[in-house]
Amino acid sequence: MKNSDSFAKGADSPSGDSARGSDSARGIPFERVVILHGYGAAPADHWFPWLMRAVPGAEAVELPLPQSPEAASWILSTTDAIGPLSRKTAVVTHSLGGLAALRAIQRLVRRGAAHARARGCASCDAQLGAFVAVAPFACELPLAGDDDVDRFILSQLPDFLSKNPFPNPRVFARATVIRSDDDPFVPAGSSAEFAERIGARTLTVHGAGHFLASDGVTELPEVLEALSAA
């Protein structure tokens, strides 16, 4: 895995299989779609390349040290990647990326409120156009039986959870949680709580595991559905 922050972008003119995805993406009303991976991943993994092909101009962020994520650097990188909250921006996350995004959005809400006060406005009404969280969680996880994953759960996940991560759900113009019915890492109840706390609708995909390429998930049309419905 590369250890630098960077962006990978979708092609401007997809063809072949990508063109079929582009047909589905024509109704997506956003100028920016930011994709945030999870633990141990990179923009080239799982269903992220497919989504970048399907949504021209979509940006996949490479978060630092994905095999040993540090909350501070992930939250900072995610904040920079999302940028000022806008209804013209959508954020798509996978697993730990969803938790980092919540913390980043909290920071962006505070930043927006400070700017609003500086302009003499009583409040900041900025919203994110859409938030799509795949296999999300914002709580402690059971041990997975994998040494590296368990080390992260025990030693680094608590830093991501050091503060209540949930922003006011009104910051999301639209929110969707996509979960599997057989996720071996994230209990169904954890994703359900995540959805409830942000006011999201939930889509359940049968037999998708943790939505990894090793689970056979290299395309995820439910994400396009969620973005198009926004």
- The span from the CA of 188 to the CA of 206, in Å, is 12
Q: Is the pTM of this model over 0.85?
A: yes
- Break the chain into its structural domains and give their ranges: 6-228
- The span from the CA of 48 to the CA of 30, in Å, is 17
Instruction: Determine which of 15-19, 44-48, 203-207, 216-220 has the lowest per-residue pLDDT on average.
Output: 15-19
CATH architecture type of domain 6-228: 3-Layer(aba) Sandwich (3.40)
Do the beta carbons of residue 182 and residue 207 sit within 8 Å?
yes
Residue 1's pLDDT band (cuts 50, 70, 90) = very low
Q: Which of 105, 147, 146 is nearest to 128 (CA)?
A: 105
Instruction: Encode pLDDT of 180-210 as tens digits.
Output: 999 999 999 999 999 999 999 999 999 999 9
Virtual CA dihedral for 108, 111, 113, 118, nearest 10 degrees?
-150
* pLDDT for residue 228 is more than 90: yes
Q: Which of 44, 54, 38 is nearest to 223 (CA)?
A: 54
User: At 22, phi and psi to the nearest 5?
Assistant: -65, -35
Q: Which two tokens stand for residue 108?
A: 């962006």
Instruction: Encode pLDDT of 58-113 as tens digits.
Output: 999 999 999 999 999 999 999 999 999 999 999 999 999 999 999 999 999 998 77
